[in-house]
Structure formats: structure tokens, C-alpha cells
Amino acid sequence: MKKLNVKNNEAAIYGVGGLGEIGKNTYGIQFQDEIILIDAGIKFPEDDLLGVDYVIPDYQYLVENKDKIKALVITHGHEDHIGGVPYLMKVLNVPIYAGPLAMALIKNKLEEHGLLNSVELHEISDKSVLKFRKMKVSFFRTTHSIPDTVGIAVHTPVGVIVETGDYKFDLTPVTNQPPDLQEMARLGAEGVLCLMSDSTNAEKPIWTHSEKWVGNSIAHIFDNIKERIIFATFASNISRIKTACDNAMAHGRKIAVFGRSMDAAIVNGRELGYLDIPDDAFVDAHELQSLPANKTLILCTGSQGEPMAALSRIANGTHRQISIQPGDTVIFSSNPIPGNTTSVNSVINKLEEAGANVIHGRVNNIHTSGHGGQEEQKLMLRLMKPKFFMPIHGEYRMLKIHTELAEQCGVPMDHSFIMQNGDVLALSKDTARMAGHFTAGDVYIDGSGIGDVGNVVLRDRQLLSEEGIVVVVATINLNNQEIQSGPDILSRGFVYMRESGELLDEGRRRVFKTIRKSMRAKKATESSIRNAIIDDLQEFLYDKTERHPMILPMLIMNGK
């Protein structure tokens, strides 16, 4: 078991995920034999992680210390903060504490994984207090792009450690849950030992626009559209869904909902009281045809260009119930996540080609970030007045800029710590120091497989995607040193076989000679023959094409 270099009178804080990256937020606060976990998120894969669905942290350190973990507390219900919960619960069954919306979303995830009845769940509010033997946890309300967002204060024997979660200071939120500035100021006045704060927008010298500002822009757009509206946003953005639905009802439009996650968001939002939409405001897909275009709003997923989301299928003409009609207006009420820009642009182009008018981008004022800019980050620092500072939730450059903002707000630069996942910061009442490191890499989720896709598999997938594959099939009798059939060569993604007959014929002759030569070797084995085929054919094909396809020999062995 990995033992941290932490003294008995020190608290330890660390990121299992979320440091030097956007996503995978999973943080630990530890004092002696008690650990409080904050969030358990996923990260969406970059383009080079071919076939990977999600990335989660390596939970090995947590598993080794599972008897110390008292609680998993959740700041809010976004995937990069709760998406890893079912995977964590499979190896580490600990009590979960979350606000109403986050809890509803977590229950859905646990049910999908067959874990709902085996996990201890506790719903909390911003007024809740959790007491453990040595530590205490309290909460304070913040604002983000999803309701029921809280920051977390962990009261340890050496001082209070605050983790903000994702936040901005939206003073006019449409969900009527303004940030609790008084509680933040009270924490700061009583003394914050260390602040762990969201760094996502640290590069932006702004105060992020309120959701109300977006609402005004959307209302103006609705006023000027006389045909059908298709509105795409994140299913988790309840505030934006509320704005769209409120405007639809104000203009006498019926609402049709498409996308499983959007359906779930509407159900949860109505049950929890965030969406005040009567039953008769909704219509089914088959009722759309009988309604005038100016009396309908289609609310759907797919604002990030996801291939299987409703909007992408509408754009591709493959949706069973909806097709683009001339005069349709499609509103993208989100900005592309880094890495999704190409997919989003492709969907926009297809929608435009089909005759739709597409409204997107910053110039139309139809989206605002859920994260505070530099001015809000400075306000958080001034309210909390921390002795030490650890920026979280951001890539390295964001973390670095955030420490510079902290210095402007009175935190000495040597009191700020830019850390990597697995780094441990030890805190006493007056000191902070780096105290070791544990392994905290990435684990890939591919389908139902957890961690069974590693770097070798990804390298193979990369090679297949770039260079293709060449399969060699032969039946051989090693005892008689005889080739009984073949070799045949099949190409997929390397060369078009019908137009490359000469190259493949020459390759077959070369492989035939290689197999015969390999079988005559004194200690010839199936493995040695395979390796000889790979080496020789790889060299031959590179000489002819300057490409390195994957070579896959399939040998049928007779006479063993």
C-alpha cells in the first residue's frame, strides 16, 4: 500500500483526476485515517483515443485506502463531476452525498449499472453539515450552468479547506439560486487554510455573462422567427432548457422533445420544480405534422455534433420522425467543446444545405459559459482570503494564470501550488509542502470494458486508422515443411485490391519464399514463421508504398 509522506498533524489534499486537464474531477482531502472524496468525474476522449468512450482516473490509491474513505460528496451533476460514480462504486462502495438534481442523475447512472440498491445515498442542500470523527463538511451555494451547485468546505483539525466546484457569480440566475456571497465571506472571515478553485476560464479577463442575458437574446430571436424552431443544447443545462421552453409557451408554441438524455432532463427538471411546464405544452412526434410551423419548438440533443444525437440524425436525413423543412431555424445554444468544432461545423453545413437557417456562435449571444472569468476568480479569492491556494479543474496554463491572479489578490506566489494528478500537498496550520506522489493515470472505458484498452491497443487502432491492415492466410504442415494452400493476401484500408493486383501478387511470391525458408530453420515454430512473415512483408510493402500497414498472419497448422 502506498504510504504518503504526511505527518500526523497535517492534512493532505490531492487530485486523483482534474489537474492539468478539463474533466475527470476527483479530489481527496485526508486527515490521518479519514478521507473525504469530492466528485468522481469522467473526461471525454481526445481524437487520438480511437474507439474510447470515456476516460476515468486510476482509482488504485483510493482502493488501497478504502477503509479510510468516509464519504463521496458531489458539487453538481455534470458528467465531468459525476460520470465516474458507477465505475468508482464498483471498486469502492462508500456513502454518496449530493444535491437533488445531481442525486437524480446519479441514481439514473447507478440503475443503468445495476448498482442502485447497493449504494448508500444521501440528498443534501447547501445548508447541510456532515460530521465525522475528525472532520466536518459544510456547503455553500454557488451558480453554474446547472441547478443545485454547491461549493464544499472541509473542516479539518488544522484548518478549513474549500473546494469551489465549478462556479461563476451569476447574480440573476434563471433558476433563482443566486450565489451565497454571505456564506463565502463568513468562511473567509473565520479563516480558510487552503482554497481549491475552478480554473477553467482563467485565461479570460472578463466577468461571465448571466444566464438572464442569454435569455433576453433568445427571447428576441423567438420574437422574429415565424417558422419552426429546432433548439439544441446540453441536456444538463436546465437553465437553457427553461429559457427555451418559457419562450416557446409565451409565443404559443408546443414543445416536442427528442433525445433520451433530453427526455430525462425534462422529467428531472419538472419533478424537482426547476421547469414549470404543464403537460399540455408538450406534443408527440406524430402530432408535429398537424401543427403550423410557427406553433412548434423541437427541443433536442446534439449541440456538440455527436453522431448519434437527434440533431445529427436530423441533419443527415436519417431521423425517423423529423426532416428539415425549408424555413426551419436551428439554434445551437452552446459553444463547441474543444475537439468538437469539426463535428459541429459538419452538422451546421448539412443543416444549411437542407434549407435550414442556423443560428450559432458568440455573435448571436445565445450562449454563456458556466465558469467565471478572471474577475469572478479574483472575487472568490477576496471572499475566501486563503492562506494557501491550489488551482484545480484546468490545463496547466490555466492553473498557472490562476496562481498569478491569486498573487494579485494577496496570496504570495510561494503559497500557491500547481499540482499534477497524484501529487500530495501536506498542510499544517501554518505550512504547506509537497509530500510525495501516487500513481494517478488514465483508465479507458471502451463499451463495457474498463481498463482493458491500453497504449498498445490504442497504438494498433491508430496504425489501423492511418495505414490499414494486410492479412496473410496460409495452411502449412510444419513436420513435412510443406505449404498446403496459399499464401493469400487480403488488404483492408491499405490498397484497393482490384487495382493493386501486381503488388499483391509480388507480395504473395515473397511470402511463399519466406514461409519455406522459415520452415527449414532448425527450431522453426508457428511463432517464428509469423514473425518472419511480418518482418519481410513489412519491409517489402514499405519499399513499394512508403507505408506501414499492420501485418496479420493467419496460419492454419496441419500435421502437428
Residue type, 302: G
Q: Three-state DSSP class for 257?
A: strand
pLDDT digits (tens, 9 = 90+) for 285-330: 888 889 999 999 999 988 776 777 888 888 988 888 888 988 999 9
pLDDT of 522 strictly over 90 = no
DSSP structure string for 305-328 = --TTSHHHHHHHT--SS----TT-
**All residues at 6 or more sequence positions from 496 whose CB lies less than 8 Å from its CB, including other chains:** none
Residue type, 325: Q
Strand bridging mode 26-31 / 11-17: antiparallel
Cis amide linkage into residue 338, ω under 30° from 0: no
Rounded-to-integer distance, Cα 84 and Cα 25, Å: 9
Rounded-to-integer distance, Cα 525 and Cα 555, Å: 11
**All residues at 6 or more sequence positions from 277 whose CB lies less than 8 Å from its CB, including other chains:** 245, 249, 255, 266, 270
**All residues at 6 or more sequence positions from 38 whose CB lies less than 8 Å from its CB, including other chains:** 25, 26, 27, 28, 29, 72, 73, 74, 75, 152, 154, 163, 165
Of 3.60.15.10, 3.40.190.290, 3.10.105.10, 3.30.60.50, which CATH number belongs to 11-206+369-437? 3.60.15.10
Residue numbers belonging to the annotated binding site for substrate: 235-237, 367-371
Residue numbers belonging to the annotated binding site: 51, 53, 76, 78, 80-81, 144, 166, 235-237, 367-371, 393, 446
Give strand pairing partners of 542. none
Which residue is listed with cell 443544447? 233
Q: What are phi and psi of 424, to 5 degrees?
A: -120, 130
The residue ranking higher by pLDDT, 208 or 552, is 208
CA dihedral sign of residues 263, 269, 272, 278: negative
pLDDT digits (tens, 9 = 90+) for 208-225: 999 999 889 999 999 999
Q: In 10 A of CB 509, how many CB atoms?
A: 11
| Residues designated as active site | 198, 371
Strand bridging mode 423-427 / 388-392: unpaired
Q: Three-state DSSP class for 24?
A: coil
Looking at the domain that runs over 455-557, which CATH code has it been given?
Answer: 3.10.20.580
What integer pLDDT is reported at residue 1 of this predicted model?
44
Rounded-to-integer distance, Cα 394 and Cα 202, Å: 9
Least confident range of 149-158, 290-299, 492-501: 492-501
* Of residues 282, 278, 237, the one with CA closest to residue 261: 237
Q: Three-state DSSP class for 321?
A: coil
Q: Compute the radius of gyration of the chain from its Cα atoms.
A: 28
Give the DSSP H or E segment for 131.
strand 129-131
Residues 356 and 330 sit within 8 Å (Cβ to Cβ): yes
Q: How many residues does the chain have?
A: 560
Rounded-to-integer distance, Cα 206 and Cα 473, Å: 63
Residues 105 and 77 sit within 8 Å (Cβ to Cβ): yes
What integer pLDDT is reported at residue 122 of this predicted model?
98
Residue numbers belonging to the annotated binding site for Zn(2+): 76, 78, 80-81, 144, 166, 393
pLDDT of 455 strictly over 90 = no
pLDDT of 266 strictly over 50 = yes
What integer pLDDT is reported at residue 475 of this predicted model?
86
| Mean pLDDT (whole number) for 251-279 | 92
Rounded-to-integer distance, Cα 364 and Cα 332, Å: 10
Rounded-to-integer distance, Cα 536 and Cα 544, Å: 13
User: pTM value?
Assistant: 0.80
**All residues at 6 or more sequence positions from 533 whose CB lies less than 8 Å from its CB, including other chains:** 472, 511, 514, 515, 518, 551, 553
- For the record, the C-alpha cell of 533 comes out as 512473415
What integer pLDDT is reported at residue 202 of this predicted model?
97
**All residues at 6 or more sequence positions from 64 whose CB lies less than 8 Å from its CB, including other chains:** 1, 2
Which residue is listed with cell 422567427? 225
Q: Which fold has domain 211-364?
A: Rossmann fold (3.40.50)
Domains of the chain, by residue range, sit at 11-206+369-437, 211-364, 455-557
Average pLDDT, the chain: 88
Report which listed range, 41-55, 249-263, 375-389, is most confident.
Answer: 375-389
